[in-house]
Amino acid sequence: MRWKGVSSLVLLEECVRLISEKGWSLGNIDAMLVLEAPKIKPYIPAMRKNIAAVTGLEEEDISIKATTNETMGFIGRQEGVVAYAVCLIQK
């Protein structure tokens, strides 16, 4: 499998390349992580910096938030996490 084990930053870079080939560009990114542990707040600035470096966006155009699932379900049992991301793309 071509993408197995590849860094998510490499995948993001490929997505940016693909939309750029079609004449589109990123406007901003809004992301949310749902997990019980670890607490990611200390890592958010570095995550924004890494995403900005790959996408060409300014750090202030990248929002990353985190919340818990209040110990419910597979997330609450720490069996997995959920990640949501919405991107504005523009011509």
How high is the pLDDT of residue 75?
86
Separation of alpha carbons 54 and 3, rounded Å: 17
Q: Are 32 and 65 in contact (CB under 8 A)?
A: yes
β-strand partners of 31: 64, 85
19 close to 91: Cβ distance less than 8 angstroms: no
What average pLDDT score do residues 78-84 get?
92
Map out the domains of the chain as residue ranges.
27-90
Alpha helices (H) along the chain: 8-21, 44-55, 73-76
Which tens digits make up the pLDDT trace of 39-58?
A: 999 999 999 999 999 999 99
Mean residue pLDDT across the chain: 94
CATH number of 27-90: 3.30.1330.50
* Predicted local distance difference test score (pLDDT) of residue 76: 85
Given a cut of 90, whether residue 74 has pLDDT beyond it is: no
- What is the pLDDT at residue 70? 84
